[in-house]
Chain A
Amino acid sequence: MRGLQRGGKSLEFKDAGSQEGPLLVVEDLHTSFRTSRGTVRAVDGVSFEVHEGKTLGIVGESGSGKTVLSRSIMGLLPPRDVIRSGTVRFAGHELTAMDDTELRQVWGAELSMIFQDPMTALNPVKRIGVQIAESLKLHLGMDKQEATSTAIELLRSVGIPSPQERVRWYPFQLSGGMRQRVMIAIALACAPRLVMADEPTTGLDVTVQAQILDLLADLQQERHMAVILVTHDLGVVASRADDIIVMYAGRVVERAPTRTLFHDTKMPYTRALMDSIPRLADPSGARLDAIAGRPPDLINPPAGCRFAPRCPYAQDKCRESEPPLRTVGSPDHLFACWFPLVDGKSTVPAVPVSLSASQNGASGATTEGDA
């Protein structure tokens, strides 16, 4: 048993490996923002589970709600103007019912986060060693010396050369890739059981991206952590996630084990995301299958299937009633589509999406898409 004593009461967490059932259970999570234009339903009824030591990929475009989802699970959204309902159960504890004092015992210690932009997530005026040592002192009760030597070890384990020297450096002295390694060191300092990585490699070079993702996978294996990898790029999670959920307009539109998702794609949106990635094996100049338009405005999402305005296979039924998340055959493979793909092909004819179809966006000023 591992207890965390700080603040009033202390929370009890079972040791790694003794967890029964999933480590994280999210059930019917809704998160909305009150704005002057109306209520933005950024996360609209999302459910999934993460098991110990496993990797879940959450994939979606900008505006799909994936970042709000990860912050909502963590409890990192400001309470003002945010409405949250649903269940987030982590290692048997209901996170949505916790106050800040209790959450502080969980953050960093059991559940931590790697943010997209390490330059803004790190404190620019504190040495990186101090920033790593902070949670070691807070959660593990280490003294200054012990915390500093552990920080050096952590820097070494994330592949930062000459850590004794670098521990005294400031974030600006490091490259983007090195800063992201420091972020990982901070997130892993107290050996959390679940790490949420929100676009951890966006903005980095592809070579550095490969290094960071490999590092995360190695550390995950070593420490038996669960990881949630949030990204807009299916290529990033293809070889790294055990399961993937695809989000669109605040909802899960497909959820499956990674292999199944790629080999038996049901939802045309998932297929479209895959097809928009340029592949090395394609001849140069090959036209990409871009998805026309943009994700809808989440204040007034379209009726029926939310992807219908951009879907080449949309039928009248799709525009009228919303498809539920359902299964055919395998219970692990859920999708929300009235006309799912069979063997990667649609059973209904494709209709080119007209340019005006995308004009349900917030600005309404676009004719994006390529006819």
Chain B
Amino acid sequence: MTDTTAVDTIANQSGDVVLDVRNLVVEFKSRRQRVQAVSGVTFQVREGETLGLVGESGCGKSTTGRTLVQVQQATSGEIVYQGQDLNGLKGRQLRQLRTKIQMIFQDPISSLNPRRRIKDIVAEPLVIWKRGTPEERASKVRDMLEAVGIDPDSAGDRRPGEFSGGQCQRISIARALMADPDLLICDEPVSALDVSVQAQILNLLADLKERFHLTMVFIAHDLAVVKNVSDRVAVMYLGKLVEVAGSDELYRSAGHPYTEALLASIPEPDPDHVSDHKALSGELPSPLDPPSGCRFRTRCPYAQDRCAAEEPPLRELAPGHQIACHFPVGPFGGQVAPAAPSAPSSPGA
């Protein structure tokens, strides 16, 4: 099942590959139609690394995240976690492996049971796994709440309704860490929070990652947030990856026009900042009927005939920098003139 050639090709880079996703496809079936939410996604995550997964609503980033914890079944493809393909696993084996992969969700308030006390919510993973005595569990709950910045003495007996969104997200993080996971999937963990609280949670995740030696997959729609926490970033559009690069590299020399547009749409807290990019027009096309060729071509200012006829493969244009575009921009540009006269120039230029 697991073939090692893909692992070999990236073995020269630091850290072992702990998660190897190959050609992942997730299909949803409605009455007569089939929708592909994820259409062949391949990426690796190395030990101790944070991989950011960024894209608009509906691009399939959350579905990808959910298949990594197997709450969503993949239609085809492989998710190899430490040498085992999660897709083939069932029952006890799957459950055991799952403790190593934990997830935190976007809406912190609705992901906590409103009727239960905080200390019971956080202790539950250990109760389910029958780990430790009640005293040992209680002491671990205290440690973990302290680690996320919640005072266990005053908070333990309260219920989620008494806490703010930021505090609930801290509690969710504490719960996710109780089973000593190695891999943490964060699905839009800060997008429902104020910028001030967002900064607290991002710093907290960075601290916990170091303290508990975590590997993370961080899913969000805001590239500025993703760049802050991630070592590498994968940009997703309508079920496919369009660009993968180190986060600083991605910002300095974005090669895909979609990445360029995502960078341009971030509001800069600077009144003198004049974005030289136009906001991306239109919305994500329906995944029921994706455009032929390059899926981004319907919104791309540089699209040519070739983009409709032929799908661009994800290819490595610089070490560790993959782009799926026939006519990449930025430092990879110059192959063809943009179609629109007012087309934006490259970022970081």
Contact = CB atoms under 8 A, between A and B. Distances in A.
Interface stretch (A24-32, A134-142, A234-242): A234-242
A205 B267 contact: no
Contacts of A278: 198-199, 202, 224-225, 227-228
Contact of B158 (A177, A207, A273, A363): A363
Contacts of B223: 206, 280
A121 to B, nearest CB: 18
A169 interface: no
A233 B200 contact: no
Nearest to A279: B224
A291 B155 CA distance: 21
Interface string B317-338: 0000000000000000000000
29 contacts: A61-B194, A61-B196, A62-B197, A205-B56, A206-B266, A207-B265, A211-B279, A213-B267, A232-B196, A233-B267, A235-B268, A238-B270, A239-B275, A263-B271, A273-B196, A277-B269, A278-B227, A284-B229, A284-B230, A285-B228, A288-B203, A355-B149, A363-B154, A363-B162, A366-B150, A366-B163, A368-B149, A369-B200, A370-B207
A239 B273 contact: yes
B165 interface: yes
Nearest to B227: A284
Contacts of A272: 196
Given A175-B283, A366-B151, A274 B199 contact: no
A325 to B, nearest CB: 22
Interface string B177-220: 00000000000000110111111101110110000000000000
Given A239-B273, A272-B196, A206 B228 contact: no
A345 interface: no
Interface residues of A, number: 59
Contacts of B58: 175
Contacts of B199: 276-278, 288-291
B206 A207 contact: no
A49 B334 CA distance: 51
B247 A367 contact: no
Contacts of A16: none
Contacts of B143: none
Contact of B269 (A63, A234, A292): A234
B221 A365 contact: no
A276 B151 contact: no
A273 B225 CA distance: 15
Contacts of B269: 234-235, 238, 262, 274, 277, 279
Contact of B57 (A205, A284, A367, A369): A205
A353 to B, nearest CB: 12
A164 to B, nearest CB: 19
Contacts of A235: 195, 266-269
B265 A206 contact: yes
B149 A284 contact: no
B281 interface: yes
Contact of B267 (A239, A289, A369): A239
B280 interface: yes
Contacts of A365: 150-151, 154-155, 158, 162-163, 167
B268 A239 contact: yes
A331 interface: no
B267 A236 contact: yes
Interface of B: 56-58, 146, 149-151, 154-155, 158, 162-167, 170, 191-192, 194-200, 202-204, 206-207, 221-225, 227-231, 246-248, 251, 261-275, 279-281, 283
A307 to B, nearest CB: 12
Nearest to B167: A366
B203 A211 contact: no
B279 A214 contact: yes
A362 to B, nearest CB: 8
B256 to A, nearest CB: 14
Contacts of A239: 267-268, 270-271, 273-275
A367 B203 contact: no
A256 B308 CA distance: 50
Nearest to B265: A210
Contacts of A209: 265, 267
Given A365-B155, A365-B158, A290 B203 contact: yes
Interface string A207-240: 1111101100000000000000000111110110
A20 interface: no
A228 to B, nearest CB: 18
Nearest to A212: B279
A9 interface: no
A287 B201 CA distance: 11
A286 B150 CA distance: 24
B207 to A, nearest CB: 7
Contacts of A288: 199, 202-203, 228
Given A61-B197, A238-B267, A262-B270, 10 more contacts: A278-B199, A278-B225, A280-B251, A363-B162, A364-B154, A365-B151, A365-B167, A367-B151, A368-B150, A368-B166
Given A178-B283, A233-B267, A282-B228, A368 B170 contact: yes
B166 A210 contact: no
A277 B197 CA distance: 10
Interface string A46-63: 000000000000000111
